[in-house]
Chain A
Amino acid sequence: AQRVTQPEKLLSVFKGAPVELKCNYSYSGSPELFWYVQYSRQRLQLLLRHISRESIKGFTADLNKGETSFHLKKPFAQEEDSAMYYCALSGYGQNFVFGPGTRLSVLP
């Protein structure tokens, strides 16, 4: 079965502090993993995907197959990073399996 977990519903950090949003998955094959972000009153937007190994808005995520994790990190949080973050897995089919989401709140 395909499953994505994000253990933190809410994460609050101060501006300039490092951020790590956790994502773990279960999938028996080789997963494709994504992070989507939803800013207030906006649509879900792709933040990054593991296959492209790029950094968007200072965020990075590394796929760790041993720990079945795809944690999202940023060294210095900005107030504009406040949003809902969803980890998603594309496994057997074309559909995405989403995690429950983590609300990141960056305090001034």
Chain B
Amino acid sequence: EPEVTQTPSHQVTQMGQEVILRCVPISNHLYFYWYRQILGQKVEFLVSFYNNEISEKSEIFDDQFSVERPDGSNFTLKIRSTKLEDSAMYFCASSGSRGARTDTQYFGPGTRLTVL
């Protein structure tokens, strides 16, 4: 069964550095998402992406964040200048062609980002 994959599984960086988290969504999916989960807290929506542009974003997704689909398979989340409070688990998800509210979102295993 196809799965969403994410790399790396764990990223350690210094405060102020740029990081890029990578995701490969399920191949025939058209809607892509990033969520994060700070340790001990709930999963929070960051951004959704469709047709090469952001379709929705949350208040968390400020100018320090950007997303890109650089080729036909990867979907990346970039944090320009990391802060300590960016330390979290970052989940990528994708959903099918309809993009309807009823579509199941399939999640990747997550990337644990640690900012020192």
Contact = CB atoms under 8 A, between A and B. Distances in A.
Contact of B107 (A45, A94, A97): A45
A43 B101 contact: no
Contacts of B91: 43-44
Given A99-B42, A101-B42, A51 B107 contact: no
A96 B42 contact: no
A93 B48 contact: yes
B97 interface: no
Interface in A12-58: 32, 34, 36, 42-46, 49, 51
B107 A95 contact: no
B18 interface: no
Contacts of A99: 42
Given A43-B110, A44-B91, A95 B42 contact: no
A64 to B, nearest CB: 19
A107 B41 CA distance: 25
Nearest to A89: B101
Contact of B56 (A32, A93, A100): A93
B95 interface: yes
A95 B45 contact: yes
A86 interface: yes
9 contacts: A43-B110, A44-B91, A46-B104, A94-B55, A94-B95, A95-B33, A95-B56, A99-B42, A100-B41
Interface of B: 3-4, 31, 33, 35, 41-45, 48, 55-56, 58, 91, 95, 99, 101-110
